[in-house]
Amino acid sequence: MIGKTMEKALNEQIREELGSAYLYLAMAAYFHSQGLPGMARWMEVQVQEEFGHALRIYNHVVERGGRVKLEALPEPKFEWASPLEAWRAAYDHERYISGRIHKLVELARQERDYPAEVMLQWFVSEQVEEEDQTRRVVEMLERLGESGRGLLWLDKELGKRGKEEE
C-alpha cells in the first residue's frame, strides 16, 4: 500500500508530466507555424514520451492500491521569439522536471518507500537523457546563429526522430 504523502506527491508529478506533454504540443504547434516541421515532429514525439511518463507513474500508484487524482493543467505558453528561445525553454523545463524527480527520490527515502524509489530511479536516468537532448539542440542553434541554411538542416535532422521505429 502506498502512503498518502507519496500518493499526493506522485499525483502532482502526473500533472507535471501531462503539463510537459501540453507544453511540448504547444511548441510543436509553434514550430509548425514557423515552417519547421522537423522540430515540430521532434516535439510531437516528445509529447508521446511525456504521456508515457505520466502513465508510468499512474500505473505505479494504481498497482500499489493508491488513488490517482488528475489535476487541472495550466495553459502553456503559446509564442516564442525564436526557435532558440523555444528550445531554451524546453531545456529549462527539463531541468525543472529533473529537480522535481530528485525531490521525489528524497521523499521516497524519507518515507522508506522502496518501491517508489526503485520506480523513480528510471526517471532519474531518463532525465539525464532529456536534459542532454534539449541542451544539445540549444547549443547547435547557438552555433548556427542567424544561418537560415543551418536552421533548415537542423530542422531536417530533428525531423528524423521517431522514424526509425516506423
d(CA 124, CA 114): 15
Q: Tens of pLDDT along 127-153? A: 999 999 999 999 999 999 878 899 999
**Domains detected in the chain:** 4-165 (1.20.1260.10)
Answer for the pair 140, 154: CB distance below 8 angstroms, yes or no: yes
d(CA 60, CA 102): 17
Q: What per-residue confidence (pLDDT) applies to 166?
A: 52
What's the half-sphere exposure (Cβ side, CA atoms, 13 Å) at 108? 16
Cα torsion 113, 119, 124, 126 to 10°: value is -170
Q: Tens of pLDDT along 35-62? A: 999 999 999 999 999 999 999 999 999 9
d(CA 73, CA 82): 25
Q: What per-residue confidence (pLDDT) applies to 120?
A: 98
**pLDDT at 86 > cutoff 80:** yes
Cα 4 to the center of its chain, rounded Å: 25
> What is the pTM assigned to this prediction?
0.94
Q: Tens of pLDDT along 152-164? A: 999 999 999 987 6
> Torsions phi, psi of 68, nearest 5?
-85, 130
Answer for the pair 22, 59: CB distance below 8 angstroms, yes or no: no
> Span 85-94, mean pLDDT?
98
